[in-house]
Structure 1
Amino acid sequence: MKAADFQIDSGAKGAVLRLSGDWTTAGLRRTPEKLNRALDGVQVDRLDIGDLDGFDTAGALVLVQATGKALPASAWKSRPEAGRIYALVEKLERGTAPPPKRPDAITRIFARIGHGFYDVMAEIMLSMVFLGQLILAVGSAAKHPGRIRWAAWVSHVERAGLDAIPIVIATNFFIGAVIAFIGADLLQQFGAQVFAVELIGISVFREFAVVITAVLLAGRSSSAFAAEIGSMKMNQEVDAMRVMGVDPFQALVIPRLAALLIMLPLLTFIAVLAGMLGGLLVSWSQLNLGPAFFIQRIEQNVGIQHLWVGLSKAPVFAIVVAAIGCRQGMAVSGDVESLGRRVTAAVVQAIFAIIFLDAVFALIFLEMGV
């Protein structure tokens, strides 16, 4: 196989491009670069293909790009098959639109900001729509209690609440122990280690028990709600419910909401006991504060009002966690990628909402002096 080659002859009637060798993918090699340099500023008027051996679309594309214009059909009379290949490539190359110009960096930054703002506002709008549908469904359930699916309620109470007890106990036990270690280490420097009991009691009662429990349920139950309802949306089971006259909110959302509304306060109380147990054991081992003394200090100096402050947050956190999980599940489209995005969004939004609402509660209780 002879490599592709060319020669440019200048005459009275204009430049003649003489092709020789194999103008195919295998025979071109470095010919395209040489041809582009040779034809820089040269206008080809005629083509000589008497010594041309092979010709394919790669060779045709090199000619089209190098000459910058369509060669006449008469140039290919001796090789009509090569002329047809050249005409096809030349037509496709001429009809190909140039790539769109990429916007500058500042435009891209503002475009991302605009898209992000639009997505946030759309998410808020859809959440408001979901909230309105949820309120109507709750009102309908309260008006017609005979339609309540008690079996679904009990099932979700077990799965979302009772099955979460071990992880809630373990996590809050270690949280209480960590608070006790920090308090013992800091307060011993000032000879005030006895106040570690108050630190443990107030922090566990008011904040850590309810917040940690809600965050655990956000990662455990909110994601499960989004995945379960989302998979039903993907399989068109939710649409089938509507066709059969079953309200998806009554069948899917209300039981999950009720389950968390019932179980989160109970789990919070269990978390309080686990956290106090962890703090008690560390205080006993590190500060020599016995269980009787620990309980007495909690009763006298902490009081039950801090426990009620923590428990009052639990129903709000339960509604938020369940509603966000179900709302993201209902928003799943027909592909697995959408399901993954919505499950992730359910966990992230639920945790963010818990932290935000906890800060709001802190401000409210501060103004109330509680």
Structure 2
Amino acid sequence: MIPVDAPGRVEVIAGGGESTVRLEGAWTLTHFATIEPQVQALRAALPERLRLDLDAVSRIDTAGAGLLGVLLGPARLRALLDAQPDLAPERRALLDTVGCAIHDIFAYSPPPYDGFGFVRLLQKTGEAVDAIWCQTRALLGFIGLVLETLARTLLQPRRWRIASLVVQLEQTTLDALPIVSLLSLMVGAVIAFLGATVLNAYGASVFTVDLVSFAFLREFGAVLAAILLAGRTASAFTAQIGAMKANEEIDAIRTLGLDPIEVLVLPRVLALMLGLPMLTFVAMLAGIFGGALVCVLAIGIPPAMFLSLMHTDTPLSYFWVGMSKAPVFAFLIAIIGCLEGFKVTGSAESVGERTTSSVVQAIFMVILIDALAALFFMEMGW
């Protein structure tokens, strides 16, 4: 008689036309370290035709069932279980479920290290290109879904979520005013300092006014505000929607017969498209004010002269060029932030990964669109 708590063991008994795999003792987690070397030693030497003898097994848990799945493989284990009609139902269910499902986890062995050769470089390049293509396709599809939902609800005022829009407008725009203003003012001062340093060598320090006004009206006003919102708001959108996805709140919204795009995405997209032009205008004013302070205090240009030069040398079209980019930036930032939130799989690690991804993608898209817009406006002569 084998004791109930005796460590499990396995042996292959040859006889006649088929061999028997005989299990004995307790196949439990307590004896895992004793059983696992036996299983690994017998795996490669098992004959094709087998029968399974479990009569001497005193106890078995999920660890033992997993080891048996590793020893026999999921297909052979299921076939041998079917050949044993007298097996207890609970033991059959354990072996069939755990032993077959956990096979891949126990039997996994890391791929051999193949160095960093040319083939590996091509593989990584292909994986990166495929990931970029999949992300681009998902982004375009999500843009189409949001535009379709917007068109469907635009003519139905009763479905507008004004309260949610106002809340998002406060969080994305009003709360961002201090940081956008302060950063733009400091950048404007830095640009004026650099411009004055370079232009003073040619006796043309007065053109620092044109440098500051051109830079902030055309480029820096919209870009600085958009980059700040990409880091501040896109990450917030991803974290909020990702947390709801992890807590199954989005499934609850669908269960109530509501559209998550309409409830969660549209208010955020519209709030950012309304708020970023306002922040861009504030950033332009703050940047020009920072440049004006440097011109007045460091170069000696009077405020009246600064305003006069700016009015004379700066076309109004520069202002509209900068403002026209703000809604485009806002739309892309909001779309990317919401899309990455919907990609969260349910863990805290996934929320962190998607939040990081949304910030990186949003900043990259802002700079890319700004570069393309600069080339377009330059070719158009605007």
Mapped to 2, the partners of 1:336 and 1:91 lie a distance apart of 36
Mapped to 1, the partners of 2:204 and 2:347 lie a distance apart of 59
Mapped to 2, the partners of 1:218 and 1:87 lie a distance apart of 54
Correspondence 1:160 to 2:108? no
My pick for the range that moved more, 256-265 or 111-120, is 111-120
Tell me how far 1:337 sits from its aligned partner.
1.3
Match of 1:32 in 2: none
Correspondence 1:241 to 2:253? yes
Deviations 1:139-165 (A, max 9, x none): 112121220110000000000000000
Structure 2 counterpart of 1:131, which letter? I
My pick for the range that moved more, 286-295 or 91-100, is 91-100
Q: 1:90 to 1:249 in 2, by over 3 A?
A: closer
Alignment of 1:93-104 (within 5 A): 93-95=41-43, 102-104=112-114
Tell me how far 1:89 sits from its aligned partner.
5.0
Mapped to 2, the partners of 1:160 and 1:306 lie a distance apart of 26
Mapped to 1, the partners of 2:351 and 2:373 lie a distance apart of 32
Tell me how far 1:101 sits from its aligned partner.
5.7
Match of 2:284 in 1: 272
Mapped to 2, the partners of 1:125 and 1:88 lie a distance apart of 46
Q: 1:91 to 1:309 in 2, by over 3 A?
A: closer
Tell me how far 1:87 sits from its aligned partner.
10
- Divergent runs of 4+, >6 A: 85-88
Tell me how far 1:86 sits from its aligned partner.
10
Mapped to 2, the partners of 1:324 and 1:88 lie a distance apart of 48
My pick for the range that moved more, 113-122 or 168-177, is 113-122
Tell me how far 1:90 sits from its aligned partner.
5.1
Correspondence 1:352 to 2:369? no
Mapped to 1, the partners of 2:291 and 2:226 lie a distance apart of 20
Q: 1:340 to 1:101 in 2, by over 3 A?
A: closer
Mapped to 2, the partners of 1:322 and 1:258 lie a distance apart of 9
Deviations 1:257-305 (A, max 9, x none): 0111111111111111101110000001111001100000000011321
SS at match of 2:257: coil
Tell me how far 1:93 sits from its aligned partner.
2.1
Match of 1:37 in 2: none
Question: Structure 1 residue aligned with 2:199, among 180, 183, 187?
Answer: 187
Structure 2 gap ranges (5+): 1-6, 8-32, 45-106
Tell me how far 1:110 sits from its aligned partner.
2.9
Match of 1:337 in 2: 349
Structure 1 gap ranges (5+): 1-56, 58-84
Match of 1:173 in 2: 185
Correspondence 1:311 to 2:259? no
Match of 2:264 in 1: 252
Mapped to 1, the partners of 2:35 and 2:264 lie a distance apart of 63
Q: 1:282 to 1:102 in 2, by over 3 A?
A: same
Q: 1:202 to 1:101 in 2, by over 3 A?
A: closer
TM-score, structure 2 normalization: 0.72
Mapped to 2, the partners of 1:156 and 1:335 lie a distance apart of 25
Tell me how far 1:114 sits from its aligned partner.
2.7
Tell me how far 1:132 sits from its aligned partner.
1.8
Deviations 1:228-261 (A, max 9, x none): 0010000010111011111101110000001111
Structure 2 counterpart of 1:93, which letter? A
Q: CA-atom RMSD, angstroms?
A: 2.5
Size of the aligned set, in residue pairs, is: 291
Could you say which structure has the larger radius of gyration?
A: 1
Mapped to 2, the partners of 1:88 and 1:146 lie a distance apart of 65
Tell me how far 1:108 sits from its aligned partner.
3.2
My pick for the range that moved more, 157-166 or 106-115, is 106-115
Mapped to 1, the partners of 2:198 and 2:39 lie a distance apart of 81
Mapped to 2, the partners of 1:343 and 1:256 lie a distance apart of 16
Mapped to 1, the partners of 2:151 and 2:228 lie a distance apart of 29
Match of 2:54 in 1: none
Correspondence 1:225 to 2:237? yes
SS at match of 1:190: coil
Structure 2 counterpart of 1:264, which letter? L
Deviations 1:214-241 (A, max 9, x none): 0000000000000000100000101110
Mapped to 2, the partners of 1:100 and 1:198 lie a distance apart of 61
Mapped to 2, the partners of 1:144 and 1:183 lie a distance apart of 52
SS at match of 2:201: helix
Structure 1 counterpart of 2:152, which letter? S
Mapped to 2, the partners of 1:91 and 1:305 lie a distance apart of 77
Tell me how far 1:99 sits from its aligned partner.
5.3
Tell me how far 1:119 sits from its aligned partner.
1.9
Mapped to 1, the partners of 2:339 and 2:379 lie a distance apart of 33
Q: 1:280 to 1:342 in 2, by over 3 A?
A: same
Structure 1 counterpart of 2:269, which letter? L
Mapped to 1, the partners of 2:37 and 2:230 lie a distance apart of 59
Structure 2 counterpart of 1:364, which letter? F
My pick for the range that moved more, 112-121 or 280-289, is 112-121
Match of 1:148 in 2: 160
Alignment of 1:39-188 (within 5 A): 92-95=40-43, 102-105=112-115, 106=117, 107-188=119-200
Mapped to 2, the partners of 1:350 and 1:364 lie a distance apart of 21
